[in-house]
Chain A
Amino acid sequence: MAPASRQHTKALSELAKRHGLLLVFVLVVVAMLLAKPTFGTYQNIVNVLQQNAVIGIIACGMTFAIILGGFDLSVGSVTALASVVGATLMIDVPTFGIPLGIAGAFASCLLVGAVNGWLIAYAGVNPFVATLGTMTVVRGLIYVATNASPRFGVPYSFTSVGLGYIGGIPVPAIIFAIVAVTLGFVLHKTRFGHYVYAVGGNVVAAAGMGINAFRIRFAVYVLVSACAALSGIILIGQTASATPQAALGYELTAIAAVIVGGASLGGGRGRMIGTIIGVFLLGVVANALNLFGVSAFWQPVATGLILIFAVAADGFSKRGTFVLGK
């Protein structure tokens, strides 16, 4: 290959590497707009926003955990916990039930986050084991406390949180946008976010320069649980009830969205904008399957394939760079 053309190829591959995800997303959207006129309608766009807000909020928190070099499997259980604790208080407490429910949901979830954080940061338990443990324990406790039956009768006014609109935009999507912008700011502009990258990239170097890696890890797992709590509260608003089986498997969808968004499970890499595109790429593909009348059972198949494709494409672009000590 001539040097000029090789440079050209290199620039192209660099472009694809940087903006490949966005490119794929735009291609999928354009293809859908051409193939299905209903895809671009207001009602359908609102649907996509509505359906992906809950998982999106969790994915924003998960981005921190993955950049830190870990992940959190307990988010689905924690989302259900927020939902059950919040709904129960809203149903059983006559006055101030709603603020109490929100407070209770956050308090219980932050406790789980603190347990995760303590286990991973201070007790040195592997994130997979720690959060698999809390995921199982929390889900089990929810079943015990509710006898595995749903709680109905949340004040109808609370559905404005899950089903309401402000200026034509679903409230959950607005909450998702606020969370994404806030956490994007924290991750990319503040010292805390900077230290998440440092600890995830090389904990020895970070600690050697005086960064308290324990505190960063602890704080991140509390943050992930806080995001899950918010999602659980929105779930209450979407159904005016709480189901103990809520949010099953959300942890894997959230992790998939973050990884599709370009973050690396090895830590130190990832961006909030990537996570948001990842969430909507998975969401739009699910929506497309739906619009084409494909059975919903195919949706996890599509999610899994996109995940594998995204990681394989990334790995392929770095092939041949096995270096000792990397």
Chain B
Amino acid sequence: MTEVLLRADRINKRFGAVVALNDVSLELMAGEVTGLVGDNGAGKSTLVKMFSGVLRPDNGTIRFDGENVDFASPAAARGRGIETVYQDLALVGSMAVWANVYLGRELLTGPAFLNVLDKRRMISNARDMLERFVARVPPVDEPVESLSGGQRQIVAIARAGAWGSKLIIMDEPTAALGVAETRAVEEVIHGLRDRGLTVLVISHNLDQVFRITDRIWVLRRGEVIGSRETGNTRPEEIVAMITGAVPADRLG
């Protein structure tokens, strides 16, 4: 469990005169849930956008699964096994859960030129896929818009996990959810880890970060302040790192 899945090495990113990331180096361990914390504008979202193929670093390297990668698009990142669950939920509300699980990856049947959907197989498979991560699977033939916010988030996360991806990135996965729904989503995140997937979570909610992560990385003003094993630190220390009450670790 100590293998490095993703290593970012001295990543720099500027937007005009603004330095968003300054020599950021970070590691994600395979099979762990890593939390990425920091104040607004610390560069968390910018950093994960490099991993999900939305942005490219100005310089620095990203090594993923043993190879240097340079993603030209989110599709390229997805092709390598990095799925991102967006805050605004990339689900089609008017379509059924199974259709969303299979969106862009539809199973077909019959003569090739007709491209006929194999709905029956997708419906039954979608249920199985969700059951791998979710205790109470939402009804797969109901439209997504009839589900609660938490159930939708669960569908989005389980979809990401179901497609054989290695790393799942989530930006504030429970920002808009109530307490019970937040817990349900956290259970799904644990389910992903139990299946051997690596998870990177951006969250402002430190209680949550301490509940679900194995390791925490702290960013401040575009720089890495340091990382801690969740079991060997306390919220006070992380807060101090976020706010700048303690200086940056010296990292090799």
Contacts and interface: CB of A to CB of B under 8 A. Distances in A.
Contacts of B205: none
Contact of B92 (A191, A206, A210): A206
A109 B116 CA distance: 28
A204 B117 contact: no
B115 interface: yes
A interface bracket (residues with beta carbon within 8 Å of B): 10 to 19
Pick the most buried of B89, B91, B104: most chain A CB atoms within 10 A of its CB. Answer: B104
B104 A197 contact: no
Interface residues of B, number: 23
A284 interface: no
B160 to A, nearest CB: 11
A201 B95 contact: yes
A285 interface: no
Contact of A268 (B88, B92, B106): B92
Interface string B105-142: 11010000011110000000000000000000000000
Q: Is the interface of B mostly helix, strand, loop or mixed?
A: loop
Contacts of A204: 88, 90
A302 interface: no
Q: Is the interface of A mostly helix, strand, loop or mixed?
A: helix
A201 B108 contact: no
Given A197-B94, A198-B95, A205 B116 contact: no
A209 interface: yes
Interface of B: 74-75, 78, 86, 88-95, 99-100, 103-106, 108, 114-117
Given A189-B116, A198-B92, 19 more contacts: A190-B114, A191-B117, A192-B115, A194-B99, A194-B106, A201-B93, A201-B95, A202-B91, A202-B94, A205-B89, A205-B90, A205-B103, A206-B103, A208-B74, A208-B86, A209-B90, A209-B103, A210-B78, A268-B92
12 contacts: A190-B115, A191-B108, A191-B116, A198-B103, A202-B90, A202-B92, A202-B94, A205-B89, A205-B91, A206-B92, A209-B104, A211-B103
